[in-house]
A and B are shown apart, each in its own frame.
Chain A
Amino acid sequence: MTVTNTSAYALPITVRNVTKTYGRVHALDNVSLDVKSGEFLTLLGPSGSGKTTLLMVLAGFTRPDQGSLKFGDAEMIRQPPHLRDVGMVFQNYALFPHMTVEGNVGYPLRLRRVPKPEIAARVEKALATVQLSGYGERRIDQLSGGQKQRVALARSIVFEPRILLMDEPLSALDKKLRDRMQIELRQLHEKLGMTTVYVTHDQREALTMSDRIAVVNFGRIMQLATPQQLYDQPENKFVADFIGDSTFLDVQRDGDTCLVGGTPLKTTRPVPPGDSLSLMMRPERIHLIEGAPAPDDNVFEATVSDLVYQGESFLLYAHIRNGPEVAVRGAIRGDTYGRLPKPGATVRLGLHAADAVIIADGGQ
Chain B
Amino acid sequence: MNATGLRRDEHMERLKLFGLSSPALMLVMVILVIPVGWLFYVSFIGADGSFSLENYERMITRKSYGRIFWTTFEVSLLTTGICILIGYPLAYFMSQLPPRLANLCLIAVLLPFWTSLLVRTYAWLVLLQKNGLVNNWAISLGLWDEPIKIVHNLNGTLIGMVHIMLPFLILPAYGAMRAIDRDYIKAAANLGASPRRAFWTVFFPLSTPGLFAGALMVFVLCLGFFVTPAVLGGGKVIMVSMKIVSNIELFVNWGAASALGVVLLVLTAGVLWIASRFVNLERATGGGGH
Contact = CB atoms under 8 A, between A and B. Distances in A.
B183 A111 contact: no
A107 B290 CA distance: 12
B175 interface: no
Contacts of A84: 190
Contacts, number: 74
A88 B286 contact: no
Please name the 4 residue pairs, one residue from A and one from B, whose CB atoms are nearest each other, closest first.
A98-B287, A94-B187, A108-B191, A94-B183
Interface string A61-94: 1000000000000000000111011111010101
Interface string B200-215: 0110011000000000
B164 interface: no
B186 A90 contact: yes
A9 interface: no
Contact of B192 (A59, A85, A96, A98): A85
A59 B186 CA distance: 9
A111 B197 CA distance: 9
Contacts of B201: 107
A254 to B, nearest CB: 57
B189 A97 contact: no
A198 interface: no
Contacts of A94: 181, 183-184, 186-187
B140 interface: no
B194 interface: yes
Given A108-B192, A139-B286, A155-B191, A97 B206 contact: yes
21 contacts: A60-B190, A81-B189, A82-B190, A82-B194, A87-B190, A88-B190, A90-B183, A92-B183, A94-B186, A94-B187, A96-B202, A97-B206, A97-B287, A98-B286, A98-B288, A99-B287, A99-B289, A100-B286, A112-B192, A156-B190, A159-B191
Interface in A126-154: 139
Interface residues of A, number: 29
Contact of A86 (B183, B190, B198): B190
A111 B186 contact: no
Nearest to B186: A61
B279 interface: no
A82 B193 contact: yes
Main secondary structure of the interface of B (DSSP, over half): helix
A159 B192 contact: yes
B187 A98 contact: no
B286 A107 contact: no
Nearest to A108: B191
Contacts of A99: 286-287, 289
Contacts of A155: 191
A103 interface: yes
Most B CB atoms within 10 A — which of A94, A100, A112, A139?
A94
Interface in A270-303: none
Contacts of B187: 88, 90, 94-96
A274 B150 CA distance: 85
A295 to B, nearest CB: 58
Contacts of B198: 82
Interface string B263-290: 0000000000000000000000011110
A190 to B, nearest CB: 23
B196 to A, nearest CB: 10
Contacts of A86: 190
Interface string A150-178: 00000110010000000000000000000
Contacts of A112: 192
Contacts of A100: 286
Nearest to B197: A111
A111 B192 contact: yes
A25 to B, nearest CB: 18
A81 B202 CA distance: 16
Contact of B205 (A98, A107, A111): A98
A36 to B, nearest CB: 23
A59 B190 contact: yes
A167 to B, nearest CB: 9
Given A82-B188, A94-B184, A98-B206, 11 more contacts: A59-B190, A61-B186, A82-B190, A82-B192, A84-B190, A90-B186, A90-B187, A99-B289, A107-B188, A111-B193, A155-B191
A107 B186 CA distance: 14
Most A CB atoms within 10 A — which of B189, B195, B288?
B189
Contacts of A97: 206, 287
Contacts of A60: 189-190
Interface in B21-74: none
B219 to A, nearest CB: 24
A95 to B, nearest CB: 8
A107 B190 contact: no
Most B CB atoms within 10 A — which of A97, A100, A108, A156?
A97
Nearest to A165: B190
B206 to A, nearest CB: 6
A81 B289 contact: no
A96 B289 contact: yes
Contacts of A95: 187
Nearest to B205: A98
B279 to A, nearest CB: 13
Contacts of A85: 192
Nearest to A98: B287
A92 B190 contact: no
Contacts of B191: 82, 107-108, 111, 155-156, 159
